[in-house]
Structure 1
Amino acid sequence: MRTKPIRALATLAAMITISSTALLTGAADTHAADVHAEGTHAADIHTAAPPGLESLVDTAVTGYLKDDRIPGAAVTVVSGGKPVLTKGYGVADVRTRAPVDADRTGFFLGSLAKLFTAQSASQLVTEGRIDARADVNDHLREATVPDTRPGRPVTLDHLLTHTAGFDSDLVGRNKASAEDVEPLAEGLTTRRPPRVRAPGQVAAYDNYGYALAGQLVADVSGQDFPAYVDTRILRPLGMTHSTFAQPRPPRIAGQQARGYRPDGASGWTEAKGQYGSWSPAGPGAVSTAGDMGRWLTDQLTADSAANRLMRQVHYRQDPRLPGLGYGYEEWRRDGRTGWFKDGDIPGFHSTLLLLPAHDLGVFVVFNGDGTDGRAAVDGRNLIDRVVDHLVPARPATPEAPRPSADPALATYTGSYRAARVSRSSLMAVEGLVGAVTVEKDGDTGLRTTGLSVDPQHGEQRWTALGDGLFRERGAGGATLAFTGDGLLVSSATPATAYERLTWRQSPALHTALLGFGLAVAALGAIAYPATAAARHLRRRDPHPRAARAARAAAAVTGLLAVTFAASLAAVVSDANAMMEAVPLGSPLLTAVTVTGTALVVTTLGVATGAMAAWQRGWWNRTARVLFTLTALGCLALASMLLLYHLVTAPLTWITG
């Protein structure tokens, strides 16, 4: 699971909030200073660490925990064919103050589970039991792919490279308790997203695709997915504190870290929603830093056909940029190359990097979201610091491209939307608030906003290298490419391309319509009841009952608009809490969509009243114009709610 689509909802609150309320959460009665006073807990240094490595990691991680209010973390570094640093920091439980033990404390992996899914599938491919380029329906038995695109079947290769073409929908997918999780096949069937594009065309990060790959492994092997991973990967590597089973074995559950989000000035609230039937994509998977060190060691030292298959580029959106292996994303930085994966689930954030050419692997995990969701960024930053310390950057080669004017510079400007953005669920809101804006920056460059994986790094500047290729100014050497079919591709996110938007799809236009509709509807909530009250006091209301009903509909619609905005503001008032509310579901989230649905229905009454007012001559001309303006505002608002699926299922089906 990735957090950016969920966190995008938080930005929406700033645009449409009329009133806001705080989420009622029970904060953990523990203070950050008290927890970190426990100090760090060293677990196991298997062999001598390279000079300065432990000091660097200690300083960085303790700084992250303190500055970003994260309870605990664990890190492992593998070099020279063995772990050189495996260490825990902070606490696994803020109530009991149990310290993190890197060899025993289990952390939820989130999307790092996809690496184990890819490895399982790769084993079956290399054994000749699955053809990665054949229709997955040839092997699936309990959950198949509908033939909605005849002649374009989905293959395992598509599933493992995020190119299967399924829509994205995480709303309500997770559970608070492992006991409530339905079987994988059932979860794949009852919540199957539509196929929104032909397979093999565009990379769009896909949780459903990986869950389906896990079912493929189960159907071909004859074992349920957690059992396959246990018998073919975990036990052979000695990963005795890791599991994909839900519920977890008691010996693992008893040493599980709890995940948290900051609450108030110094406390935490425990996060829920780490379980779910789509476990091959992330929910429910648990491991320790020590076990992940064993897995990294195997990836670096075992020259198996499955490991090699995982670390081949199987799809590249642009031939000049990093591509996708099976499970892995290709990684490039300052002349160094490797394989990367990160994982996010409520309260837990993990990051992993493998540099086979340098025999180096790094894994870091936090059991807290951190202030403003900083934990996910902290993991990337720590890995960059470790790599910089152990693997010197390569100097630029004389043949490196030089900045050059690009005559097509203006053609790249505009708005772009991540291909992973949902077209059929509430997650469509990311398309409104998470779009990427591209503008010219002189004659040889571009300026982008909304593209960085770090939400605090809003604007990036890029220098043209020619033929639609750009390099970021500053350290790191990130690259950006524009393809001939209207896609924007970033080296930082090879698993998701960005699609160019037309003016009709413009987030700026939709934001303006949303704001106009909310403002007009809210004014109607005040004006029409006030007018009715004044007429009642004067004992005069010569207008027919239908006219009064139309004005009442306008007043109700305005009240619903205010309620809708307040409900949404309550959901997104804490971005970390929202990360739990969206996949887990919440009464407030339900209130948002139910209110949105009611608003759409009452808008029909307002629009009908506006037409009748002109046909039947209700009120004077000024009153009719004002009421028509109200109707237009309500229609603008309702159209945006339908477009971004901020309504309940029946209307979502109609608009989807």
Structure 2
Amino acid sequence: MNTRMRNPVIAFLISVLHFIVFSVPAYAADITNIGETPSGIPYDRLEQEIDSYVNSHIGKSTPGAAVVVTRGDKVIFSKGYGYANIENKTAVDPANTVFAYGSINKAFVWTSVMQLVEAGRIELDQDIRAYFPQEFAKKLRYDKPITMLDIMSHTAGYEQHPLSTFTPSAENLTSLEETLLSSQPEQIYEPDKVIAYSNFATALAGLAVEKVSGEAFSDYEMNHILRPLGMNRSSGHPTLGDRPDLRDAAATGYAVKQEGGFEARARYYVPLYPAGAMEGTAEDLARFVMALNAKDSPLFTRPETMRSMLSRSYTPNEDILSNAHGFWEYRAEPHVVGHSGNVKGFSGNFAVVPNEQLGIVVLTNTEIEQKLTSGIINLLVQDKKKLPEMLVPAADLSPSSQLAGYYVQSGGTYTTYHELINYLGLIKVEAKGAHDLTLSVMGLSGDMKQISPNVYKFDKSDDPRFERLAPILYAEISDSQVVRLSKGIATDILPVKGGRSIPALMGYLVLAAIAVLFFMLAPLVILIQWLLRKRKGSLSAPAAYRLLKAAIVCGTILTVNILYLLVNALINENMTVGQMNFGVALNWVLAILGGTLIMLSFVKGKHQTGLKRIKRDQIGVAVLFSGFALLLANWHFFHFIQN
């Protein structure tokens, strides 16, 4: 007779032991607490430190979060905090709660590209025109090739397209190729010269993967990354078409309300989906992170491909951090790379420390959240001990006075009427002493200390947000002129020039204020005059006057339409190209009609006697109307947006 049958107690204990051993995830079988994080936190205190930090922000900066930490091929910490859905009080589970990854998706694009580089099917320094139809190349402004390395470092030269990154309906989605070729933004910078973060360029890299591999990008991503890594709770498909079951486990996305608390966000879709449509769990993303740290990664056939991908591929200056084949470098020792993500309702971040085989994943269900997404990574990788900086003799430093002036972010839209929005957040740079700087933007102000020639590091500020805005800046100067201020990541800061200088902007503002005030008040004056004439029993007015007043009404409607376009550009994320171009077409009609009416008024006025005052009114309206029209043309209000 079997021993287990003769001793039911022993049999029971053995079965329990088997259950415990085989039900615990594989990564938990060999956990080590030896050593400490790059920031100096002992691994045996990891849970206490993360708990303390997260609990001080959960429910304030986000309703829910998932944090996973890996070492080598093991998950050494995995925990959910708060709620995936506030109303239902659904707890966050790092293994099952599905978050939107946002721009973390870009890391999967760069990995796909490097897989095809390893296979000899893509070359990083090849002109990308080789992958796309001729109609794509026709829209490029510069003859200089755009390479895959330019796309990875966000130096391909594209402005931000005025279209929203999101669409509320899956019915609006088209194939990746159709989306890219139908809504191509302008190339406004020479390749390899300016960092301007580009979702469009990233999606172009995804299309190149499609063309070379013969698979739709989401299929390639699934077949060559997600499935091989066992990321069974993730999908990069724009509608989750290959993983529809993930919808049931999806967290609700939120935005922080001004008065406090959180507001739920409606579901959205991403037409440029390789740039930010992926959704998945924190533990799935940790599997990707572990593959990036693995010596024999299942992502590549040769270890040197991984080492190359995570090594620096671009920087404006060797003294500042920048880009590693699409991954961003972090301010930490040893070398740390990763990528953050932010979409409607969700924010996330991940980082890998290859030398330590350390990985960190942080996902939240609130947009524009940084307390946790940046804070947790800083907590674990940034050394809190203030190291003494190398002193550079003052004689070797550059005079900071040459940098004084006003600057704008490179990553905006500059060829449509949306350009105006960029100048609402001008950055003021002032010299502080002989070698340092003070930066001011949107109510924030901080000091930058020059640590080496033309390299400035954050020194102090009354607002902690300032350091995240400008941790370090490199001033690129050519022929005694400032070319850019670069922090190496996301966007450069460019000096305002020529027709956008401060005196010019002040002149535009005065003219716009006069025109808007006149055309908004003039109809009221015309109405009062009409009522007074009616009271006196005289309703008729000379034809020249009637034509002039009709032109003024055109100016009023034009002003209202301009204000409508600007308000929509600021707050309406669902504005379509058709709606934008309708507004531009209306500007053309009103400007031509108003100008025609003014000319007809002059013609009629020549043939009517006793109208001494009308000449003055005609000249005044003509000058103001034409000046306003020229101002609008200068700011692209007559420029149709490409679709």
Question: Aligning the two structures, in what range does the TM-score lie when normalised by the shorter sequence?
Answer: 0.7 to 0.9
After TM superposition, the structure 1 = structure 2 runs for residues 401-412 of structure 1, keeping only pairs within 5 Å, are 401=392, 408-412=399-403
Structure 2 partner of 1:35: none
TM-score, normalisation: structure 1? 0.78
After TM superposition, the structure 1 = structure 2 runs for residues 189-268 of structure 1, keeping only pairs within 5 Å, are 189-248=181-240, 249-262=243-256, 265=259, 268=262
Picking from 512, 516, 520, the partner of 2:518 is 520
Partner SS, residue 474 of structure 1: strand
The answer to whether 1:182 aligns with 2:170 is no
Structure 1 partner of 2:328: 329
Structure 2 partner of 1:55: 48
Shift of 1:121: 0.1
The answer to whether 1:383 aligns with 2:388 is no
After TM superposition, the structure 1 = structure 2 runs for residues 408-447 of structure 1, keeping only pairs within 5 Å, are 408-425=399-416, 427-447=418-438
Partner SS, residue 379 of structure 1: coil
Q: Matched residues in 2 for 1:299 and 1:72: separation? A: 26
Shift of 1:210: 0.9
Partner SS, residue 205 of structure 2: helix
Please tell me the residue identity of whatever aligns with 1:290: E
- Select the structure with the greater relative contact order (CA < 8 A; seq sep ≥ 6): 1
**1:163–1:200 Cα contact (<8 Å) kept:** yes
Shift of 1:109: 1.2
Shift of 1:149: 5.3
Structure 2 partner of 1:293: 286
* Structure 2: unaligned runs, 5 residues or longer: 1-24, 34-42, 297-302, 462-466
Structure 1 partner of 2:12: none
**1:445–1:463 Cα contact (<8 Å) kept:** yes
Structure 1 partner of 2:500: 505
Picking from 76, 90, 93, the partner of 1:101 is 93
Partner SS, residue 74 of structure 1: strand
Structure 2 partner of 1:279: 273
TM-aligned CA distance change 1:136 to 1:560, over 3 Å: closer
The answer to whether 1:532 aligns with 2:524 is no
The answer to whether 1:470 aligns with 2:463 is no
Q: Matched residues in 2 for 1:314 and 1:651: separation? A: 37
Partner SS, residue 421 of structure 1: coil
Shift of 1:362: 2.2
**2:485–2:494 Cα contact (<8 Å) kept:** no
**1:521–1:630 Cα contact (<8 Å) kept:** no
**1:482–1:489 Cα contact (<8 Å) kept:** yes
Q: CA RMSD, aligned part only? A: 3.6
* Structure 1: unaligned runs, 5 residues or longer: 1-42, 573-577
Shift of 1:545: 2.4
Shift of 1:111: 1.1
Q: Matched residues in 1 for 2:69 and 2:393: separation? A: 36
TM-aligned CA distance change 1:224 to 1:646, over 3 Å: same
Structure 2 partner of 1:354: 352
The answer to whether 1:490 aligns with 2:478 is no
Shift of 1:286: 0.8
Picking from 307, 315, 338, the partner of 2:336 is 338
Picking from 574, 586, 592, the partner of 1:598 is 586
**1:300–1:359 Cα contact (<8 Å) kept:** yes
Structure 2 partner of 1:461: 447
Partner SS, residue 324 of structure 2: coil
Shift of 1:225: 0.9
Partner SS, residue 380 of structure 2: helix
**2:159–2:413 Cα contact (<8 Å) kept:** yes
Q: How many residues align?
A: 584
Structure 2 partner of 1:311: 310
Shift of 1:626: 6.1
Picking from 126, 130, 149, the partner of 1:134 is 126
TM-aligned CA distance change 1:546 to 1:511, over 3 Å: same
Shift of 1:331: 2.2
**1:415–1:501 Cα contact (<8 Å) kept:** yes
Q: Matched residues in 1 for 2:135 and 2:580: separation? A: 32
1:380-417 per-residue CA deviation (whole Å, 9 max, x = no partner) reads 233223334xx4546125x3436679664332122222
**1:261–1:269 Cα contact (<8 Å) kept:** yes
Partner SS, residue 254 of structure 1: helix
**1:229–1:244 Cα contact (<8 Å) kept:** yes
Shift of 1:214: 0.6
Please tell me the residue identity of whatever aligns with 1:271: R
Structure 2 partner of 1:75: 67
TM-score, normalisation: structure 2? 0.80
Partner SS, residue 200 of structure 1: coil
**1:317–1:489 Cα contact (<8 Å) kept:** no
The answer to whether 1:123 aligns with 2:115 is yes
Please tell me the residue identity of whatever aligns with 1:501: V
1:283-323 per-residue CA deviation (whole Å, 9 max, x = no partner) reads x2112111111211221223533322322222222343222
**2:27–2:74 Cα contact (<8 Å) kept:** no
Structure 1 partner of 2:36: none
Shift of 1:469: 2.5
Shift of 1:139: 3.5
Partner SS, residue 415 of structure 1: strand
